[in-house]
Homo-oligomer: A and B are copies of this chain.
Amino acid sequence: MESTQYIAALSALAHDGRLEIYRLLVQAGPAGLTVGEIGDALAMPGATLSFHLSQLKHAGLVAARRDGRRLIQTANFERMNALVAYLTENCCGGQACAPVCEPACAPAASVPRRAQKRARA
């Protein structure tokens, strides 16, 4: 994933309406929500919602599958994980840094879990 992809993902999330849409989809999980359901939940005009969904899709944070005449939108969890990993890449120069940046960069850190627990205490 390229640097510009991360910028796209962050830009997509850096908007009140879009962040709400995204969080709604994260909470909905793999089952997803239709465009209409999202519009109702957030009281957002169709054109505006469609614009924001397209931004989220362009950033790879949201995907859609068709179900009859509705489109079911779902969050792309892999993209989210990649973004978090990128932000915390080589955190603290790669040293054991658990007390500083736990939990966000723990998955990226190449430190055994036992060592992290010890450092945290």
Contact = CB atoms under 8 A, between A and B. Distances in A.
Interface of A: 3-4, 6-7, 10-11, 13-16, 19, 22-23, 26-30, 77, 80-81, 84, 86-93, 95, 97, 100-107
Top 6 A-B pairs ranked by shortest CB distance? A29-B92, A103-B107, A10-B14, A11-B14, A77-B101, A14-B14
Contacts of A103: 81, 84, 106-107
A95 B104 CA distance: 20
Contacts of A23: 86-87, 89
A79 to B, nearest CB: 10
A3 B16 contact: yes
Contacts of A101: 26, 77, 80-81
A102 B6 CA distance: 18
A101 B26 CA distance: 9
29 contacts: A3-B16, A6-B19, A7-B14, A7-B16, A11-B14, A14-B14, A22-B87, A23-B87, A26-B88, A26-B89, A26-B90, A26-B91, A26-B101, A27-B89, A27-B90, A27-B93, A28-B92, A28-B93, A30-B92, A30-B100, A77-B100, A77-B104, A77-B105, A81-B101, A84-B103, A84-B104, A102-B107, A103-B106, A106-B107
